[in-house]
Structure 1
Amino acid sequence: MYSGLLIILLPLFFGYLIPIKQPSLLHNIHRLLSLMVYVILFFMGISLAFLDNLSANLVTIFLYAGVFFICIISANLAALALLDRQWPWKNAHQQEKLPSRLGMALESLQLCGIVAIGFVLGLTHISWLIYATQASEFALIFLLLLVGIQLRNSGMSLREITLNRRGMIIALVVVFSAMVGGAIAAWLLGLPIRTGLAMSSAYGWYSLSGIILTDSLGPVLGSAAFFNDLARELVAIMLIPALVRRNVSSAVGICGATSMDFTLPVLQRSGGLAIVPAAIVHGFILSLFAPVLLAFFSAP
């Protein structure tokens, strides 16, 4: 368990120690981070092709992904709706013209295309492809180093995080309700509760959950985690404009860790500038929690 946690935490920690002042260098790091996501998903597709009894396992992957997605997102939305009722967040902002939700959804689905390309290549069973799993682990370590650098230079101070109670509370509600949903899904599927907790701990960070859980729980659960978290991002893109009118906390919470990056433009245009600080704090906290909880719950 502790070695797995160190592999996750050390690159994050060392990356967080690196201050960067040049905006151009930060921009290049962000682009490199996006590239590493594609590299990791490509390796994950190759690993998937080496599964025994492949057709039966593909059915299992989508069954697991569907059950976990329904249970986790339902638990999140129920808890967030209760939060919105107990602690209303009035939002009088007039929605701006939104970026194409179809375009953003297609951009997310491109990730499935990268997995598919890796999968097709893996079906050739070329000898050197057996090293795809080890390569993905090194790619993940590098990705976490870049994430640490990005978090350090995101402009968020500890004071700003602790002062934004709304973002912190939404994040905690998402964390605990996701655990409830993951535990229910594990019970329905006859899996260990610890596995359900691991599957619920990425909060939409599909590249991280896919590779960590593939390494620790096998390619079936790792691939199911990827599709579960990707589905969260797609559903968030579609639901934000409707949720933000009456349930602002729900609109932020459904985005998971992506509320500080990919889904932030949709949140800002739908809910105005007032929603941005809470969205960034919420995404920041979940981005810190995700690697730690994934490593903890998936450890043998």
Structure 2
Amino acid sequence: MKGSLIIVGFFVLGTLCGVFHLIPIDIVIDSKVSFYALCALMFSVGLSVGNDPQTLKNFRSLNPRLIFLPIMTILGTLAGSAAVSLILTHRSLTDCLAVGSGFGYYSLSSIFITEYKGAELGTIALLANISREILTLLAAPLLVRWFGNLAPISAGGATTMDTTLPIITRTSGQQFVVVSIFHGFVVDFSVPFLVTLFCSI
């Protein structure tokens, strides 16, 4: 939750800097700051995965049927995004699918979408994916009660290997830690491929 608020705070700060012209816009656009920030972010993700070989070892102990959990999360999210495009008639199907393909990974997906589709859709992606994370953090106990122990894992999307892992562990149980990390890893890995796919269509 704290991390989400910090991200939103920086977004608000950037918006204010843009509104009051505190930073020349030419510096930001011409220097491709967002591209270099994205490269640094991808490097950090790779570093964190490569630095924890135990995570990869734990994946081998998973029930093979649970491999389908991240696949169903991806398919369910894309189906929901497609349904939303029927309501938001001013947005194309591919725009909605691109936003949905963030799966809660707001920092990465919003940068990609801003690069491909512009700041407006990038901002929508940022807010939509932050909302997914916050809703998972707040609603995890209810999701377990109503839909079972796997529900908050699926709802968390790409965040289940980091920010939402503690609440999932507390509500679903310690035995779902490896499942949650595996789910987050697979969904997380799919984000750059799916977002760029839908942005380029």
| Aligned twin of 2:41 | 143
| Aligned twin of 2:137 | 237
Q: Separation in 1 of the partners of 2:22 and 2:41?
A: 26
Shift of residue 218, structure 1, vs aligned partner:
1.1
Q: Which residue, out of 105, 108, 115, partners 2:4?
A: 108
In structure 1, runs of 5+ residues without a counterpart are 1-103
| Aligned twin of 1:185 | 84
Q: Which entry has the higher C-alpha Rg, 1 or 2?
A: 1
Aligned AA (1:130): D
| Aligned twin of 1:260 | 161
Aligned AA (1:222): G
Contact 1:162 1:168 in 2 (8 A): no
Deviation digits for residues 239-276 of structure 1, max 9, x if unmatched?
A: 11222245111121111111100011111122221010
Contact 1:198 1:293 in 2 (8 A): yes
| Aligned twin of 2:109 | 209
| Aligned twin of 1:293 | 194
| Aligned twin of 1:277 | 178
The higher relative CO (CA closer than 8 Å, separation ≥ 6) is in 1
Contact 1:167 1:279 in 2 (8 A): no
TM-score (norm 2): 0.88
Matched, 1:168 2:64: no
Contact 1:206 1:226 in 2 (8 A): yes
SS in 2 for 1:269: helix
Identity, % of aligned positions:
30
Q: Separation in 2 of the partners of 1:156 and 1:198?
A: 28
Shift of residue 160, structure 1, vs aligned partner:
2.0
SS in 1 for 2:103: coil
SS in 2 for 1:156: helix
Aligned AA (2:107): S
In structure 2, runs of 5+ residues without a counterpart are none
Deviates more, 1:260-269 or 1:125-134: 125-134
Contact 1:204 1:257 in 2 (8 A): yes
Contact 2:150 2:172 in 1 (8 A): no
| Aligned twin of 1:194 | 94
Contact 1:204 1:232 in 2 (8 A): yes
Contact 2:103 2:158 in 1 (8 A): yes
| Aligned twin of 2:126 | 226
Aligned AA (1:238): L
Shift of residue 297, structure 1, vs aligned partner:
1.1
Q: Separation in 2 of the partners of 1:139 and 1:161?
A: 33
SS in 1 for 2:108: helix
Q: Separation in 2 of the partners of 1:282 and 1:256?
A: 8
Deviates more, 1:131-140 or 1:169-178: 131-140
Contact 1:195 1:298 in 2 (8 A): yes
